[in-house]
Structure 1
């Protein structure tokens, strides 16, 4: 039996066991959008078993390690980072023994330090990952990799019934953009502090502000502005929409396009962001120095 034949036979077994696992929970899961998303992520991840490994490949036929997670979550409408480094900081940290289906799990060959490979936990003590060594997307026993475990992150937030009022309908991008702006406005005047903690709302720097606002709208962003500029879809400045993220260099005359600031386009020629003495504020955008500093626009809604 060839390696490819073995992988495909294993795929069938995993899909059957996973279907039984998730199916047995249907009665309890139906009331929560969270559990539906978990099921979707698990089903998509397992459907990719047997696909080829290729460094940094984004799919759908070949996948790098982080890109497998990026692709899987994109299929359920969730934009996440595309590197192991950014994903290891995304979402919410969970302990090794508290992982749930859909969680991202990270490993290193030594079991310490930075992660060198990662996968998606699918339940039943299994995770799916794109393996360089096996040249394919494979399924492995989670417990057998316990000595290599270095972290886990939960991207899927539990949905509160008080937030959705029983309505599981996905919000339109325009509605979500308005929600983002409304959330941002409640922090108007909050002081600026470089390096503010991502868990704090007493002060913000530019990227902790955007991360917080989008998190409250149900969208996970990496922590810093340069990491945030790697997610979502790149759009042109002339096609700006409310809710787009604007990434800026240090000054309009700078020869370097290194990103030093991020703001949210609020529509009507304004941006919502934080800096210096005003803290969280609106600023005029059209025709200003802010506009001239923009080097990238990303849409995550």
Structure 2
């Protein structure tokens, strides 16, 4: 049930109080909106793995808040702890995901959303509801923070180097080519180069070019700028559904456009390989194209 304190906090926000004020001038509007959504959920009931809108698990609170602004992220603490861009404890801004461990070290055991003014919101098992806490008072339990949306941008852009786009794209392709023939393995660890699945491959070769991408293909499809097939450029990420005849646009595969009507990716028995794109089933399966360079 909604506590009296939570009602007071929510009322304070609506009336322009100082609790959880979002610094909209310095933060992407979507990230600011996430912080506001998180604040509006204060007092909702805690329920293990509940996805909302009336009850929430720890990670599911963040998943729900970002979904409301059109961004799909993971639904577990471990996956969210790897998403987006790492930020320091003192550099968090409203909308950032903050992670804590009861022991103060190791893997996070609970998480929340920073809302500004030294406050964060999280769904607490112990208090059986979504609560607001003083961020600095949890410093001894802090283990990390992640930024899903980059600041001062109308787009959700991954971190990237200040180099000409064509130079970076060429480097991405070159990075991928050195892994030609490497075996495909579904769910391959992002820490290995002995095997890849489609998204660990794109994450790896972009990382080697200085660009940080989320781990899986659906998360990767939320970053960067959307472009059309007619505007494809080398280095663009192409996201595909399961088959040409699939009625669902659920993303199941990601490839890198390599120019000249070809894609660089990994799947099945070929492993890392080039494939023809123009006029093929790969093209017909395409549901989204993103430019992150």
User: TM-score, normalising length from structure 2?
Assistant: 0.64
5 Å matches for 1:220-231? 221-222=214-215
- Indicate the residue corresponding to 2:95 in structure 1: 102
Q: Which moved more, 1:207-216 or 1:59-68?
A: 207-216
For 2:177, which of 183, 190, 204 is the aligned residue? 190
How far the C-alpha of 1:190 sits from its partner, in A, is 2.2
Distance 2:128 2:67 in 1: 23
Instruction: Confirm or deny: 8 A CA contact 2:12 2:19 kept in the other structure.
Output: no
- Indicate the residue corresponding to 1:60 in structure 2: 53
- Indicate the residue corresponding to 1:69 in structure 2: 62
- Indicate the residue corresponding to 1:17 in structure 2: 17
Q: Structure 2: give runs of 5+ residues left out of the alignment.
A: 157-168, 223-239
- Indicate the residue corresponding to 2:246 in structure 1: 239
Query: Residues 37 and 75 of structure 1: is their aligned pair in 2 closer, same or farther, counting only changes over 3 Å?
Result: same
**Secondary structure, aligned partner of 1:86:** helix
Distance 1:71 1:95 in 2: 24
| 1:110-129 Cα deviation digits (max 9, x unpaired) | 11111111000011000000
| 1:136-156 Cα deviation digits (max 9, x unpaired) | 111000011111111111111
**Secondary structure, aligned partner of 1:187:** helix
- Indicate the residue corresponding to 1:115 in structure 2: 108
5 Å matches for 1:221-300? 221-222=214-215, 237=243, 238-239=245-246, 244-246=251-253, 263-264=254-255, 273-274=265-266, 279-282=272-275
| 1:7-28 Cα deviation digits (max 9, x unpaired) | 2223223453358833xx55x4
Q: Structure 1: give runs of 5+ residues left out of the alignment.
A: 161-167, 171-182, 247-262, 292-296
Instruction: Confirm or deny: 8 A CA contact 2:119 2:135 kept in the other structure.
Output: yes
How far the C-alpha of 1:35 sits from its partner, in A, is 2.4
Query: Residues 55 and 73 of structure 1: is their aligned pair in 2 closer, same or farther, counting only changes over 3 Å?
Result: same
**Secondary structure, aligned partner of 1:10:** helix
- Indicate the residue corresponding to 1:153 in structure 2: 146
**Secondary structure, aligned partner of 1:102:** coil
**Secondary structure, aligned partner of 1:71:** helix
Distance 1:42 1:102 in 2: 5
Name the Cα RMSD after superposition.
4.8
User: TM-score, normalising length from structure 1?
Assistant: 0.62
Distance 1:52 1:92 in 2: 30
Distance 1:185 1:286 in 2: 27
Structure with the larger helix share: 1
Instruction: Confirm or deny: 8 A CA contact 1:93 1:152 kept in the other structure.
Output: yes
